[in-house]
Amino acid sequence: MAFKIIFFLALFFIETLFGIDKAIIILDASSSMWGRINGKPKITIAKNILEKNINDWNTSIRLGLIVYGKNRRRDCDDIEIVIPISQVDKKKFIDEVKKISPKGKTPIGKSIREALNILETNEDDSTIILISDGNETCNADPCETVKEIQKKGVKFVTHIIAFNTDIQTDKNLECITNATKGKYFKVKDEQSFDESFKKILNSNKKNNKSYKFINRNKNV
């Protein structure tokens, strides 16, 4: 019993002192994700890319998944924490992604706020990866939401993969990445989606040192 107490106190101390890298993916499951690119639904492309890259995820970095629009139509509160922040169970993650069927709206601002609630971050050790094919549709301004949260001292980076978006959507979403010093990728097909996702996973920085979200050795 004493050993367990010492162990958990030590773990808490390590996490508090050094921070544990963590990330959350926000996936768009709004109805527009049924739109097709080269004959293939956008949601199918997104699932394929996630499955491919999650298999290479660095398991030392905890990961969560939020999906909006997957359960109900016309509901701006349809935001589900599908997988809480945890050590990656690759099979479970992929299985949950495969179940997603787009239905609803695009509450980006609320989804980012929800992601930060579960990341519970006040250090530069948290990353949000947003995958969306469109603009906010729930009467919010996601960029202003981000700036409001930053004023409270919350530090995080948001990278965005914008899937076949228009110019106005690009402007609105890129405001988020600019505010959080993240990267913005506009993609038009499966290949560019995959390349952009890999760039995000390979190019992160912490404490001025490179670290990666994917394993250098795929056999690990």
Report the alpha-carbon distance of residue 187 to residue 137 in Å, rounded.
Answer: 20
* Higher pLDDT pick, 21 / 93: 93
> In sequence order, what are the residues at sequence separation of 6 or more whose Cβ sits closer than 8 angstroms to the Cβ of residue 196?
161, 185, 187
Flag the least confident range among 23-32, 54-63, 96-105.
54-63
Flag the least confident range among 24-28, 72-76, 199-203.
199-203
pLDDT value of residue 213? 60
Give this prediction's pTM. 0.85
Q: Average pLDDT in the 18-39 region?
A: 87
In the predicted model, what is the mean pLDDT of the chain?
85
Q: Three-state SS for 35?
A: coil
Letter string b/e over residues 42-78, b meaning 16 or more CB atoms within 10 A of that residue's CB: bbebbbebbeebbebbbeebbbbbbbbbbbeeeebeb
Could you count the other beta carbons within 10 Å of the beta carbon of residue 24?
26
Q: Of 207, 198, 217, 199, which is closest to residue 54 (Cα–Cα)?
A: 198
- Packed helices 190-202 and 42-54: angle between N→C axes, nearest 10 degrees: 40
Report the alpha-carbon distance of residue 120 to residue 126 in Å, rounded.
Answer: 9
Report the alpha-carbon distance of residue 59 to residue 114 in Å, rounded.
Answer: 23
* Residues facing 36 on adjacent strands: 41
Q: Which domains does the chain have, with CATH numbers?
A: 20-204 (3.40.50.410)
* Higher pLDDT pick, 63 / 9: 63
Assess whether pLDDT exceeds 80 at residue 181.
yes
Q: Which two tokens stand for residue 37?
A: 């690119």
Assess whether pLDDT exceeds 70 at residue 194.
yes
